[in-house]
Amino acid sequence: MLPSKPETRSAAARRNRDNSVDPEGEFPLGAPEYFFYLVFQTARQRDLQFDRILKPAGLTVALWRSLAIIRRLDGCTMSQLARYSTVERTTLSRAVDQLVMRGFIQRSVPGHDRRQVILALTDLGEETYIRAVAILKEFNAGLLADVEHERLRDVTRVLQHALRKITGDDALATDLLTFGRAPG
């Protein structure tokens, strides 16, 4: 094994000037950077745990998300599924194929536009969704049991604000925030 090179003064100086360090010393990064790091880590760790507890329902997180979106958007298209799941269409095609093969969803093609594919839950898909959503709700409730209701709503509003800013497109942001259902 080669001995490590001594650190140069300029590398140490650059690291000490790192603008992501929290000036108040509470967080390992500046609050904005740390916020998004935590959003990512929380979502990823939740997905890993949720994947594990979904096994008895015969689902993975990826399949669950597709199933939930298809159910939410009665008459869901592949474009809508890609938009709300933020998964590439080619990757989604494999998930949809699995859901069709397992009898959870069905594909149909409207007569007026043969290029469009409409996805809908089957009765078995609805039963599976109901079992999985019960697992999800119990899991989420356990994670957030000691968080005050108003505090949760406040953090949710912060995430809504961030999403609006990130998209830079009011129509897209509204669509994503309302899950395709216009407010009103």
Residue pair 108/118 in contact (Cβ under 8 Å)? The answer is yes
Cα(8)–Cα(1) distance, rounded to whole angstroms?
21
* 45-169 topology per CATH: Arc Repressor Mutant, subunit A (1.10.10)
Q: In the 8-state DSSP scheme, what is residue 18? A: -
pTM of the model: 0.80
Per-residue pLDDT in tens (0 to 9) along the chain, 184 residues = 566 666 665 655 555 555 568 888 899 999 999 999 999 999 999 999 999 999 988 899 999 999 999 999 988 999 999 999 988 888 889 999 999 999 999 999 877 777 788 999 999 999 999 999 999 999 999 999 999 999 999 999 999 999 999 999 999 999 999 987 766 6
Residue pair 50/139 in contact (Cβ under 8 Å)? The answer is yes
